[in-house]
Amino acid sequence: MNGTPREVLEFAKSKGAEFVDIKFIDFPGRWQHFTIPASRLSEEMFAEGIPFDGSSIRGWKNINESDMLVIPDAATVFMDPFCCHPTLSIIGDIHEPITREPYARDPRFIARKAEQYLASTKIADRAYFGPEAEFFIFDDVRFAQDEHSAFYSVDSIEGAWNMGREENPNLGYKSRLKEGYFPVPPSDSLQDLRSEIVKNLMACGLTCEVQHHEVATGQSEIGLRFDTVVRMGDALSIFKYVVKNTVRAFGKTATFMPKPIFGDNGSGMHVHISLWRGDKNLFAGPEYGGLSETALYFIGGLITNAHALLGITNPSTISYKRLVPGFEAPVNLAYSQRNRSAAIRIPVTSGRPEAKRVEFRCPDATGNPYLTFAAVLMAGLDGIENRRHPGEPLDKNIYDMPPSELANVKKTCADFPAALAALEAGHEFLLKGDVFTEDVIRTWIDFKRENEIVPVMIRPNPFEFCIYFDV
């Protein structure tokens, strides 16, 4: 629903809510929550907020300044479909308890500032984002790491590696590597489960457009209808929550890791973007692919700032095991109508100007959705403001291009450390309008290096034993 505090209270009463769950997102991008009895919910709470300890939230406060406020947003209410007791869920904004100002590191606040900056430029009055977050569904996942050993194992009933397994009975219909795109059941064993996910998403107020099996074993995609920056950040947070909990209820598990299976396709999050003023889509025009000059400059901004941008939109070490040259991955920083190895694709829209958009194919869903969408918007606006033309489109088959020609096509970063270094060196486009701050950028980079990059780098990889043990 999208109502007032009074309407929220009436909605909670009409649904028989016994509890209210307050959800907010931490700095890296995971939902956090606490629950109060529904009898505590009041209209005043939407103005005064609810205090909590912010010192244990990743990337936020120190222990000596831990008190924070979460202020529920009345426009984000839905009934949680997974709780045993009727529970109303509300997404909240984080504020400082003394000044009552929005907390500078709250990702939702950063996304809201990006929307405000867009309006201040007079370029457009709103931006629409439509992500396609792919994910894997597995029947069993095991992993461990200690001082002397490490392993992981994922399994799916669809896996070709299970063709000879004793399943009492094994009925076949396993997915060959890279042959999972659009098969009908029984090869697609996840049809009903995805439909159940869609039902739960719609029950939470989201609009779904399509669901289907993806290329890899156990891989799926469910398309969400586009929305504005903050609302799409909310929607993607709800999406991941619903996917994981629906799948768990069926005795399976879901992950948004970009590359959990070696040798098969990885999961990305293709992001569709358009800018609007009133009822006019500013990306429709007479240029290449039915785009406007504004859209081309937006693409130019994405390409120019891509290396730094990926430090936010692809913020995990495993993100770059998907972005590998020589495969179908979108590693070429160029644009094209139909070349899916290009970082930016121009979807075919049958001449409808209202549907014209650009598709940024690099991101994945390991990041913080509010920061991802805000950063993409800021990179594109930088292109428009500085008239950064993206050059000629890449319409050739890259596998047929001579090495000398392909070498001139700019590529994505080879790994996460390189992306963070690029973000550290060139993030001025994010600072405009105080959308991102130096503190936010510094905290993001330091957190990722300390908690993810260094821990991965200092641990032996099992495959290193395969290639180095007998040296």
pLDDT in tens, 222-258: 999 999 999 999 999 999 999 999 999 999 999 999 9
* Domain 126-468 CATH assignment equals 3.40.50.300: no
Torsion, Cα 59 63 65 68, to 10 degrees, reads: 60
DSSP H/E element including 294: helix 293-304
Mean pLDDT, range 421-439, rounded to an integer: 98
Q: Cis omega before residue 169 (within 30°)?
A: yes
Nearest Cα to 427, choosing from 414, 442, 407, 412? 442
Question: Residue 65 — pLDDT band, cuts 50, 70, 90?
Answer: low
Tens digits of residue pLDDT in 396-407: 776 677 777 777
CB environment 163-197: b (16+ within 10 A), e (fewer): eeeeeeeeeeebbebeebeebeeebbbbbebbebb
pLDDT for 348 equals 87
Q: Are 127 and 117 in contact (CB under 8 A)?
A: no
DSSP H/E element including 116: helix 107-121
pLDDT for 64 equals 55
Mean pLDDT, range 384-390, rounded to an integer: 97
Say yes or no to pLDDT of 63 above 70. Answer: no
Q: Which residues are catalytic?
A: 53, 132, 134, 214, 221, 270, 340, 359, 361
Cα separation, 364 vs 31, whole angstroms:
17
In the chain, which residues fall in CATH 3.30.590.10? 126-468
DSSP-derived secondary structure for 92-113: EEEE-TTT-PBPTT-HHHHHHH
The CATH class of the 15-103 domain is alpha beta
Say yes or no to pLDDT of 66 above 80. Answer: no
pTM for this predicted structure: 0.95
Q: Mean pLDDT across the chain, nearest whole number?
A: 93
Question: Residue 178 — pLDDT band, cuts 50, 70, 90?
Answer: confident
In the chain, which residues fall in CATH 3.10.20.70? 15-103
Mean pLDDT, range 190-217, rounded to an integer: 95
